[in-house]
Amino acid sequence: MIPVSGFEGARVGVLGLGRSGLTAARALAAGGATPVLWDDNQGPRSRAEDEGFETADLTRVDVAETLATLIVSPGIPHLYPAPHPAIAAALAVGVPVDNDIGLFFRSLGSGAWDALDTPPKVIAVTGSNGKSTTSALIHHLLKSAGKPAELAGNIGRGVLDLDPPGEGAVIVLELSSYQTDLARALTPDVAVFTNLSPDHLDRHCGLGGYFAAKRRLFAEGGPDRCVIGVDEVEGRFLANQIGAAPGDDRVIRVSSGTKLSGPGWSVFAKKGFLSEWRKGRQVAAIDLRGVPGLPGAHNHQNACAAYAACRALGLGPKLIEAGLASFAGLPHRSQIVAEAGGVRYVNDSKATNVDAALKALLAFDRIRWICGGLMKEGGLAGLAPGLDHVRKAYVIGREAEGFALGLPGVEAEICGTMEAAVTRAVAEAEPGETVLLAPGAASFDQYDNFEQRGNDFTTRVRAALA
């Protein structure tokens, strides 16, 4: 655990008692603060009290006035569509609002690094799609190269639950827009921006607010190196704002599908080959086509971002290439769960928006596509470039009929449930085809989360093939 510094003897509110909230409370207590906890649900409050923590209704202004600061869990809105009542109370009396990411950056080190010859580094990854795979891949590459590394944030452990890093260690953080938007301290050594597509628009009051939340990691954090995906205009704009000149190697531009030019530092993948260029010449190349854990152009972009981040820390291309070859991929992200009769079965339940689903469709040919769920804003028009890869769609979810109507030219069967969709897809799949779960929608109409949806798909596929 990383004890939180700077609040010794102070009362600090903690709002939301999930994984990050309880971890923050423990880290605050370890640093000498008095955490005061609140959750809208009685169950989490009772568990906190059983652990010995004080609970109090933080929505009351008289309680908020006793606090030095308020720490907020990422799922709780702090501005749009409207601040949570506890946050509104804190704002009314001028109590600073922060989150566990802000506490992490202000507490990491705390003077204990003076005796280290090589202080630890932090790599922080944000973006719309590919954050988890890129973060996990960076962590894997570091570990496979013999570097001490930990992975946390929006993936794995809460940031304050990490072990204090030692000599030459690297902490890899996946950060969502909810986390970067609120953190009062953001100081990574290397910051990574994968890409941008519309998501969480209600929480950020539109695409501009969503991009602004991501941009804070770079504008507020002042990282030594910035790895930026430039396949969208927002990434190109961000890279342009950070770079002081065309050859400024503080910025490493990354692309999938476009050969990047210019005197600067770039890493791009084209036709399955990763290339690194510096000062107008190629310095390394890796064939990604045979890496089973990274299928498709979207994963090649993740590979480029992870490669660039590791190069920014000084890892050699050959070490990185060896690590890429042994990466198994993450569950629910283009995960091959079975192969039988010449048919592949792929779980990409994490494709919860149209852009992610499109990337999954483009990664495979001749697809039996299981799709649908709780549709997001913006409609399904963005799927059009990938629909010619689809042999047939098997639509699930509460809005299955509406989803199917948004797939012009695609044969679509309304299945409703995962069980029905898997049964039909397995029965109709032919050798050389891929049965792909890439919903293009949220899971909450039928499942608690995308992991549960992906597990259901995997279980039913394996049962059908048994």
- Give the residues across from 340 on adjacent strands: 343
Residue type, 82: A
Beta carbons within 8 Å of 444's beta carbon, 6+ residues apart: 373, 374
Which member of 78, 139, 147, 200 is catalytic? Answer: 200
- Say whether 130 counts as a known binding-site residue: yes
Cα 192 to Cα 267: distance, rounded to the nearest angstrom: 13
Instruction: Please say if 139 is a catalytic residue.
Output: no
Residue 64 CB neighbours (<10 A): 24
- Say whether 255 counts as a known binding-site residue: no
Cα 269 to Cα 305: distance, rounded to the nearest angstrom: 10
Is the bond preceding 77 in cis, omega lying within 30 degrees of 0?
Answer: no
Quote helix, strand, coil % in the chain, to nearest 5: 35, 20, 40
- Say whether 110 counts as a known binding-site residue: no
Which member of 78, 147, 154, 299 is catalytic? Answer: 154
Pairing of the two strands 251-256 and 34-38: unpaired
Per-residue DSSP letters for 386-436?
GGGGEEEEEEESTTHHHHHHTSTTS-EEEEESHHHHHHHHHHH--TT-EEE
Instruction: Please say if 131 is a catalytic residue.
Output: yes
* CB distance 58 to 50 below 8 Å: no
- 111 exposure class (CB count in 10 Å sphere: 0-12, 13-18, 19+): exposed
- Say whether 275 counts as a known binding-site residue: no
Instruction: Please say if 302 is a catalytic residue.
Output: no
Which member of 84, 131, 139, 332 is catalytic? Answer: 131
User: What are the tokens at 304?
Assistant: 């480029």
* CB distance 410 to 380 below 8 Å: no
- Say whether 443 counts as a known binding-site residue: no
Per-residue DSSP letters for 298-318?
HHHHHHHHHHHHHHHTT--HH
- Say whether 349 counts as a known binding-site residue: no
- Say whether 13 counts as a known binding-site residue: no
What is the set of active-site residues?
A: 131, 154, 200
**Which residues contribute to the annotated binding site?**
127-133
**Which residues contribute to the annotated binding site for ATP?**
127-133
